Structure 1
Amino acid sequence: MDPTEMRYLEEENGAMMKTFKDAVTGFATGKTSLVFIGAEQLVQNFRAKRDFFNGAHITMTKVARTHY
């Protein structure tokens, strides 16, 4: 049988193709979730550092005011 004729015999939505499509969809969803989680952690880390420095600045200002 000619390879061009076999193309018509293959199922477009066979079990193997469905499995492959589901795997690709799961992979894409996982990658999107990882990017979102990574961005959230970066933002949270940045905010924590900024809050620490702002808090340290406020504390130092209070200490300076009480001593003078």
Structure 2
Amino acid sequence: MKKHIKPAREGLNVRKPDGLHLSPAGETTTVTAFWLRRQAQGDVVITTIQPATENTLAESRPARLVKEK
């Protein structure tokens, strides 16, 4: 499951599993045991991803009728 993960405090450098630093604004990534441990230690905050657009129902057109002979 993908979630938004960001450092818990301003100026805190948190390493990702690949060794690179997590962006200060946070990144969307898959939640793994690694990130759950970082969250338990208070190093990161994990939040749900907000959908970019609202889901709306598409307009439906009436079905085409077959012409009678």
| Bin of the TM-score, shorter chain as denominator length | under 0.3
Bigger share in helix: 1
For the pair shown, the structure with the greater C-alpha radius of gyration is 1
Q: TM-score, normalised by structure 1?
A: 0.26
Q: TM-score, normalised by structure 2?
A: 0.26
Q: Greater relative contact order: 1 or 2 (C-alpha under 8 angstroms, separation 6 or more)? A: 2
